[in-house]
Every structure is written in C-alpha cells, then in structure tokens.
Amino acid sequence: MSWGTELWDQFDSLDKHTQWGIDFLERYAKFVKERIEIEQNYAKQLRNLVKKYCPKRSSKDEEPRFTSCVAFFNILNELNDYAGQREVVAEEMAHRVYGELMRYAHDLKTERKMHLQEGRKAQQYLDMCWKQMDNSKRKFERECREAEKAQQSYERLDNDTNATKADVEKAKQQLNLRTHMADENKNEYAAQLQNFNGEQHKHFYVVIPQIYKQLQEMDERRTVKLSECYRGFADSERKVIPIISKCLEGMILAAKSVDERRDSQMVVDSFKSGFEPPGDCPFEDYSQHIYRTISDGTISASKQESGKVDAKTTVGKAKGKLWLFGKKPKGPALEDFSHLPPEQRRKKLQQRIDELNRELQKESDQKEALNKMKDVYEKNPQMGDPGSLQPKLAETMNNIDRLRMEIHKNEAWLSEVEGKTGGRGDRRHSSDINHLVTQGRESPEGSYTDDANQEVRGPPEQHGHHNEFDDEFEDDDPLPAIGHCKAIYPFDGHNEGTLAMKEGEVLYIIEEDKGDGWTRARRQNGEEGYVPTSYIDVTLEKNSKGS
C-alpha cells in the first residue's frame, strides 16, 4: 500500500493530514510538559512537608527517642527519598520524552515543507506543459479553419467563368500557403502533445509517487516516534518503581518497629524522680491548746482580725510550692544537676562521667603517642627536636589532671545521690531535701517556688546587731499566733534568724509569708524564727491564740 499509487490525486488531503500529524505531536509534547510540572511541584511539596515536620536538632538536650517518634522520623526520611524519585521521573521525562519530541517536531516541519514544495513544483511544471500543448492545439485548429476557407474560395473562383485567371491563381497560392501553415501547426501540436503526455506520465507515475512516498515515510516515522515516546513515558515511571517500593517497605518496617512497651519504659526512665511516696499523716491533737485566758484571747483575736488571711488560699499556696508534688523549679541548670530529681540527676551524672572518661582516654592516647615521638626524636635527632614536644606534653598533662578532677568530683556527686537514694525510708529525710539544692543554695538560703525570681532567697536580712528583727524577739509582749503549721520535712536552721524543726513538729504561725518564701513561727517554749514556707503545711485558724 503506497500513497503514490493509491492517493495520486489527493495532494491537498495529504497536505492537511501531515499538518495534523505535526499538530498532534506538539499537543502530546505539551501534555508531557504539564506532567513534568506536576511531578516537579509534587516533589517540591513533599520536600517542604518533610522539612516542616522534621525534628529541630538545635538544642543539645534531645527529646526522648520514643520508638513511635523514631518511626515517624524514618517515614519522613523515606518520604524525602520518594520525593527525590519523583524528581528523577520529571528529569527523565524532560530529557527522554519532551526534549526529543520538540527536536523531532522541528525537523518534521522542515522535511514536510521541503516535500510539499517539490510536489507543487512538479504540478506547476505539468501545468506549464499543458498550456504549451493547448496553445499549439488552438493554433493548429485556427490554421486548419483558415486553410478550409482558402480552399472554398479557390474552388468558387475556379468554377466561376467570369473570374480572371489572375484571381484564380492568387486564390490557389493562398490555399497552398494556408495548407502549408496548417501542416506546420499540426506537426507542432503533435510534438507538444507527445511531450505533454510524456511529462504527465512521468508526473503521475514517477515524480508524484516518489514525493508521496517520502511524505508517507515521514508520517510513519512520526507515528513510530510517538510510540517510542509513549514507551519512554512509561519507562520513566517504571524505572523508579523498585526504589519507590523500597521506600514504601522502609515505611512499613518503621511502622513495625514501634514498641509500646519500650516507649512506656522510656517514659519511666525519663521522668522517674527517685522519691518515695509519702507515708501516712499522724493524728494531731490540738485540744491541749484550747485553754487560753480571756485576755490573751481578746488581744490575739483583735490582732488576728487585723491580719487574718484566707486559710485555704495560704495552704494551697504553701502546698503548691512543694517540688515533690508540684512543678519543678525553673532555675538555671546547675553543674551538679541538683535542680533535678535524684533519679534523673544520677543518669545525668553517669552520662557526664562516661563522656569525661572518653575524653580522658583520648588525652591518654595522645600523651602516649607524644612520648613515643619524643623517644624517636631523642634517638634520631635529625628527625626533630624533642624539646618542641614539651609544650604539647605539658598541655596534655594539664588536660589529664583536669579531667581526673572533674571525674572525681562527679563521682563524688554520684556516690552522694546513690547513697541518699538507697538509704531513703518511708518518708524523706532532711538530707534528701537539702540534696535538692546545690551548695550555696541550700536551705534556709533558698526554697523552691514556682516563681523563678523567688527561687533563691534567704531570710530577712539582718541590718546590724540591733535592728527590728532583734526588737521583735526582745519585746516583752510576744506577737499573737494567727494559726499553726506542721513540718512536712525537717529543717536544720543553722543560719541566724531561722528556726530548726523536726518532721511532724507543730509550730505556731505568728507572721505569714510575705512572698519571699519564709514564714515566721514560734515553738511552745517561746523560741521564734523563720522557716521555709515550702517545708510546712499551714493552717490559719480564726480562734488560735498566742502563747
């Protein structure tokens, strides 16, 4: 089947068909381009999504690595790889399909234009031959009519008896002339007709079939190119399927790696304080204080009315300041981690000791290497000066001494924590409470509160040997009690102006906490002083009397 033999008279139709083929090729190229843009945008959005939900690693203290979190981070990594494969698909389509289509479409337009121009030239040449043959035919026809008229005129004069001999001879000459010219035009017409028939045969059996064959081959190559691009379009996707499958398998493995038991254990390891639960509260008998003198009751009542505070508010405030049952202190991190609960402090100290041991091992290895190098230099002076290594050796020794001191200091803190944790009974001892603060922040100089600004404070300052504080204690008329309190934890009270107390001891409240974390209290024997508000359970009673 050939276009040259089957479609010899469909030049215009073939012109339209080849143009449609190129338009279709360009339309498919536009489709591929839009698909590439979709893939690129999809990959970009996936990468932005991964970046948005990836963990921030700016802080040194990383969050606990729960298995569910690790699995999610692994899924994000796999999704990022998946986005990379979408970019590979877009690049492959752009290079193998879209770029090839655009180059081929340009070459196709040039080739089609050339073939159509050849066909039009052949048709124009055939039309020119036709016009030459038609002109010679018309001229021959005209000369034949003129020769026929000359013959009729000659016969009429020859039969006319009245015509002169000269007229007859003239008519005869005219007839011979016209007959000669008709014969020449006849020969010319025959030659032109033969030439046209030859050119026409050549046109429809040689030239046009050759041009149409080239157009047919061009159109078939276009169809084959489309088929190859279709295949390349699919291959671009199929090549990345194995890698995408690995990404999906990685996501499934990440999902299978989630271990709820391990996460629960990590919660325990991360937040376990090491404190023991509090024991039972003992019964407190306040009936022994109900026998008061009327005068004392009147005075204390009047003074209490002037300074009474809502008991529930005060008690709630005091209990809210206890670290064991409330929030952790907000102070800055301390070198010995005493701001942390015992269990967390022990872990942090152990981690620091391990890091220091690794650094010590590194410095020891460096020292050994420097000593070996020094020995080599001493045996072979031409290789180097042994004295040049002395500064580095001295620096390494200083680092080793410093690291050993740091390790010793941290091991002492660790031994303290382990000793306190192992020897704790049902209720916390005074050493447990004092252990919660670092040296220089021990009670009574500081008590933990929810307010970071009040976290490190001491009792009211003593201005000289004789001040308002001394006057209050030296006054013959003691302050009336506005309530009572029970010591939750023991307090040593070594500092001047403070009052020592034992766990469970009951004291009178003679002055409330002014916001500095200290409450003024009095024993039954009349001894007064300040105690940490966070160490006591306060109860303000309207009918409580002074001693």
Residue pLDDT, tens place only, 119-178: 899 899 999 999 999 999 999 898 898 888 888 888 888 888 787 888 888 888 888 898
Distance of CA 438 to the CA centre of its chain: 41
Within 10 angstroms of residue 451's Cβ, the number of other Cβ atoms is 13
Length of the chain: 547
Q: How far is CA 267 from CA 177, 190, 207, in A?
A: 130, 113, 90
Mean pLDDT, range 504-531, rounded to an integer:
87
Cis peptide before 444 (omega within 30 of 0): yes
The confidence score (pLDDT) of residue 88 equals 94
Nearest alpha carbon to residue 485 among 301, 317, 292, 306: 317
Determine contact, residues 82/188, Cβ cutoff 8 Å: no
Between 533 and 312, residue with greater pLDDT: 533
Residues 6+ apart with CB under 8 A from 339: 328, 329, 331, 332, 333, 436, 438
Determine contact, residues 319/326, Cβ cutoff 8 Å: yes
Any long-range contacts for 205-212 (C-beta under 8 Å, 24+ apart)? Answer: 207/122, 208/4, 208/8, 208/11, 208/119, 208/122, 209/2, 209/4, 209/5, 209/8, 210/4, 211/4, 211/115, 211/118, 211/119, 211/122, 212/2, 212/3, 212/4, 212/7, 212/8, 212/14, 212/119
The confidence score (pLDDT) of residue 284 equals 78
- Average per-residue pLDDT for the chain: 78
Question: In the chain, what percentage of residues exceed pLDDT 90?
Answer: 31
Q: Kindly report, residue by residue over 273-283, the tens digit of the pLDDT.
A: 777 788 788 88
* 3-class SS of residue 518: strand
Q: Which residues of 206-243 are buried (b: 16+ CB within 10 A; e: fewer)?
A: ebbbebbebbbebbeebeebbeebeebbeebeeebeee
The confidence score (pLDDT) of residue 479 equals 78
Q: How far is CA 136 from CA 124, 180, 194, in A?
A: 19, 15, 12
Between 145 and 8, residue with greater pLDDT: 145
Q: Kindly report, residue by residue over 43-102, the tens digit of the pLDDT.
A: 999 999 999 998 776 554 455 578 998 899 999 999 999 999 999 999 999 998 999 999
Question: Can you read off the two tokens belonging to residue 11?
Answer: 């030049």
103-117, 258-272, 289-303: segment of lowest average pLDDT: 289-303
Highest mean pLDDT among 22-31, 151-160, 405-414, 467-476: 22-31
Rounded CA gap, 316 and 206, in Å? Answer: 112
Distance of CA 522 to the CA centre of its chain: 63
Q: Kindly report, residue by residue over 291-309, the tens digit of the pLDDT.
A: 554 444 444 444 344 444 3
Between 372 and 55, residue with greater pLDDT: 372
- Kindly report the pTM of this predicted structure: 0.51
- According to DSSP, the β-strands at 483-487 and 536-539 are antiparallel
Q: Kindly report, residue by residue over 310-332, the tens digit of the pLDDT.
A: 433 333 333 333 344 444 445 56
Nearest-Å Rg of the Cα atoms of the chain is 57
Q: Kindly report, residue by residue over 380-428, the tens digit of the pLDDT.
A: 888 788 888 888 888 998 999 889 888 988 888 888 877 765 544 433 4
